[in-house]
Amino acid sequence: MSQTLTLRRPDDMHLHLRDGAMLAAVAPESARDFARAIIMPNLVPPVATGAEAAAYRARILAALPEDAAFEPLMTLYLTEATDPADVAAAAASGLVKAVKLYPAGATTNSHGGVRDLTKVRAVLEKMAEIGLPLCTHGEVTTPEVDIFDREAVFIDTVLDPLRRSLPDLRIVMEHITTEEGVAYAAEAKNLAATITTHHLILNRNHLLVGGIRPHYYCLPVAKREKHRLALRRAVTSGNPRYFLGTDSAPHVDALKEHACGCAGCFTATNTMPLLAHVFEEEGALDRLEAFTSLNGAAFYGLPPNSARLTLVKSAEPTAFPDKITSGAGPVTVFNPGFPVHWRVAS
């Protein structure tokens, strides 16, 4: 006998769609289940101005199926040359919903990111004035800091001083991975945190034990089991400060299965069934809608979606595709490593 769960159509508050042939392949995967998504700007070259964001949005819309009901919510890539007036104009027009801070070298296509926060102070002050959120890739990149400690050190040395100096700046801690991140986001003013699907499933053993599994490699990297459990407690707590940002990040297999493989898990295809599985394991299916469909919209000042999505649980495991094809090459769909009995109703 099947079981059903109906909730408001979800939003993905942290999504990579890439560009060109990859965009054409992956955009329909997100549009199938999600109503809106905060689109990451780390293209090559990055989406750094309002004009570039408008052009990228047009390319996204052109890549969608004709019947898709999907709204890309655009962001700007913060650089040390960003013009505060351009940011304010893009926000006032309704085009841009946030600005993304990449510490230089932190992740894919972040080489043009910020090295010195004092050089973007005027932009941050303008954002605080107009209420435009700053989305942070929350890791330091100094080589002496262990990769598993980069998030905690970022909180202590970058995020907390920034919030103390600009208390009115609204900030999203993107894809948190640690119990320190969970604790910091829990009560702080003007602060929220996204949590990915894959970090609720993976710990660092999944990546490293029995051989390196490149399709589980992401940044921030998966941490110890205690951190995964802290993330699960956060998303099922009902606290509105936590919401879904999949960080679904497609790379062709040739660049994942490589001597210096790219970071990112492609979860757009099966995120909602995987989350239903996780929330059911935690006895919290009644809180899935808040995490996926309500909390993020509230933080960004958006109305909840009126359309609904229904998940169905069946006795037989759901068969997800192993890969999707793109003009750039095959992309492996995230495999959780266990049977999932939930699917999105067609």
Catalytic residues: 247
Can you tell me the distance from the alpha carbon of 68 to that of 88, in angstroms, rounded to the nearest whole number? 30
DSSP 257: S
> Tokens 């919401």 — which residue?
243
Angle at 95 between CA 294 and CA 65, to 5 degrees: 75
Instruction: List CB contacts of 294: < 8 A, sequence separation 6 or more.
Output: 8, 240, 243, 304
Nearest CA among 240, 292, 248, 298 for reference residue 268: 248
Instruction: List CB contacts of 107: < 8 A, sequence separation 6 or more.
Output: 42, 137, 139, 219, 263
Write the burial class of residue 164 (CB in 10 Å: 0-12 exposed, 13-18 middle, 19+ buried).
exposed
Can you tell me the distance from the alpha carbon of 22 to that of 302, in angstroms, rounded to the nearest whole number? 28
* Pairing state between β 3-8 and 308-313: antiparallel
> Which helix (H) or strand (E) element contains residue 129?
helix 121-130
